[in-house]
Amino acid sequence: MDRIKRPFVSLPYRKRRDAFIRWRWRILLDTPIYGGHFTSQLRLDEHDEASDWFDFLFVGSDGQTVWNAFIITARAAFLDADRFELPINTEIHECFKINRSFPNEVGLDIVVNEPFIDRKVIENAILHFRTLGEVEWINSVPVPQEHLLPERGIQHG
């Protein structure tokens, strides 16, 4: 019989704390790969300027929250707007959106105004999220339209 999983935030403190400790240990073990602030099952290619999204986990500052984060560039979010059935002229804002329905962690979607995703961008996003108090946030200023459009006619290399 399948058990219905409860959202992570509704679990008893002890279970949340145990998950926190397990993931904090994993993050420390992965310090040589990810720098000690997060971990992931994905490989982060520091030299790939085509990286426009990444999934990762990091622990909260409260000692009991595990964040399951998805980070995406504003340009990639804009180009995917049709998939999400958003109007073509939709403004894209940098933001942190929390999803508390995840069974094993707390979900976090992050949109950043960066050309690509690398370790520095992820570390800066974690720092910004913590500085805000680990709450939802939407930048009141939209990402400039010229940052959202694909580059045309520019040859690299």
pLDDT tens for each residue of the chain, 157 residues long: 445 678 888 888 999 999 999 999 999 999 999 999 999 999 887 666 678 999 999 999 999 999 999 999 999 998 887 665 555 567 899 999 999 998 889 999 999 999 999 999 999 999 999 999 999 999 999 999 888 876 654 433 3
Residue 32 carries which side chain, given as an amino acid letter?
Answer: P
Q: How far apart are the C-alpha atoms of 43 and 55, rounded to whole Å? A: 10
pTM check: above 0.95: no
